[in-house]
Amino acid sequence: MHSQSHLDPKSLTRLKSLAWMKPDQAARLATDAVALKVPRDGPIFQQGEASSRVYILLTGVAKLCYVNRDQRVLVGLVGPGEVFGLSSLLPPTTRPFRCEAFTDCTVAVVKPEIFVETVLGIPAERLSLVLDVTVGRWWGMLVRYANHVGLGLRERLAGALLDLATKFGVRDSRGTLLTVKLTHADLADLVGASRQRTTEQLNDFEREQVIVRDGRRLIIVPEKLYALVQAPPED
């Protein structure tokens, strides 16, 4: 069970990553943050929940995991002084990873707007817009890579097509038309498979009517593709 307490400003400035903060900054941040004690293997935040807080690891080690169907992928470990839960600094989104205490941990928890305005001295909305058009795409690639680990070609290709439909799609009466022209070799590179196997899987998708070919253009049916990705694996 987690326990909460007030945060001592010195617990922040003792961290190498935040030692540069002025005493008044540390005091303001400590006033608006909460110190959370999390026992080993306890959850810090859940995958899929709304991103609404920034976390600073004060003591211990935490781990970020991606739970993909029945598989658990260890994305990385977090050490003292690291700031994490950074999806909350991007436009409204949900947590792509689950975070747990690898050892007993003490974590500072603060609202993203408080963290940004106190530590950086700029409006959180401005930072969010800048991050979205800079590191946002790299964050998306990290999440997609973690999502692909352990998946078969069918699921990887479906996920890649859904991502492309979100970024480069326009609505069509039959689904979502991709405005970017990609060859089968391009898609094969995107999902880490041979062109032949990728072509075979695209043909299967077409027979299942989750994609539609219109000459050289590709139309995605997102609802059907998403259902395919979420379906339990066959025995």
Is a pLDDT exceeding 70 seen at residue 143? no
Taking only the tens place, the pLDDT of each residue in 71-80 is 677 778 899 9
Q: pTM for the complete prediction?
A: 0.62
Q: Report which residue type is found at 173.
A: S
Taking only the tens place, the pLDDT of each residue in 41-56 is 999 999 889 888 999 9
pLDDT for residue 231? 59
Instruction: Sketch the domain layout of the chain as residue ranges.
Output: 3-140, 153-230
CA distances from 83 to 56, 60, 71 (A): 4, 13, 26
CATH code of 3-140, in short, is 2.60.120.10
CATH code of 153-230, in short, is 1.10.10.10
Helix, strand, or coil here: 67?
strand
pLDDT for residue 10? 92
* Strand pairing report for 105-110 and 34-38: antiparallel
pLDDT for residue 235? 43
pLDDT for residue 183? 87
Percent of the chain with pLDDT over 70: 85
Is a pLDDT exceeding 50 seen at residue 34? yes
Cα separation of 149 and 181, whole Å? Answer: 26
**Between residues 207 and 67, which one has the greater pLDDT?**
207
